[in-house]
A and B are shown apart, each in its own frame.
Chain A
Amino acid sequence: DADVTQTPRNRITKTGKRIMLECSQTKGHDRMYWYRQDPGLGLRLIYYSFDVKDINKGEISDGYSVSRQAQAKFSLSLESAIPNQTALYFCATSDVTVNQPQHFGDGTRLSIL
Chain B
Amino acid sequence: EDQVTQSPEALRLQEGESSSLNCSYTVSGLRGLFWYRQDPGKGPEFLFTLYSAGEEKEKERLKATLTKKESFLHITAPKPEDSATYLCAVPYSGNTPLVFGKGTRLSVIA
Contacts of A101 in B (CB 8 A): 34, 46, 49
Residue A98, interface by CB 8 Å: yes
Q: Mark B84-102, 1 if CB is under 8 A from A, else 0.
A: 0001010100010111111
Counting contact residues on chain A (CB < 8 A from B), the size range is: 20 to 34
Question: A33-B97, A58-B97, A99-B31 in contact; A40/B43 too (CB < 8 A)?
Answer: no
B87/A103 in contact, CB under 8 A: no
B45/A104 in contact, CB under 8 A: yes
Residues of A that sit less than 8 Å from B by CB: 4, 33, 35, 40-45, 48, 58, 90, 92, 98-99, 101-107
Instruction: Give CA–CA (A102, B49) in the complex, Å.
Output: 11
B43/A98 in contact, CB under 8 A: no
Interface size on B, residues (CB 8 A): 22
A-B contact number at CB 8 A: 49
CB within 8 Å of A: which B11-60 residues: 31-32, 34, 41-46, 49, 51
A42/B100 in contact, CB under 8 A: yes
B31/A98 in contact, CB under 8 A: yes
B102/A104 in contact, CB under 8 A: no
Residues of B that sit less than 8 Å from A by CB: 31-32, 34, 41-46, 49, 51, 87, 89, 91, 95, 97-103
Find the B residue at minimum CB distance from A50: B95
Contact of B102 among A40, A48, A102 (CB under 8 A): A40
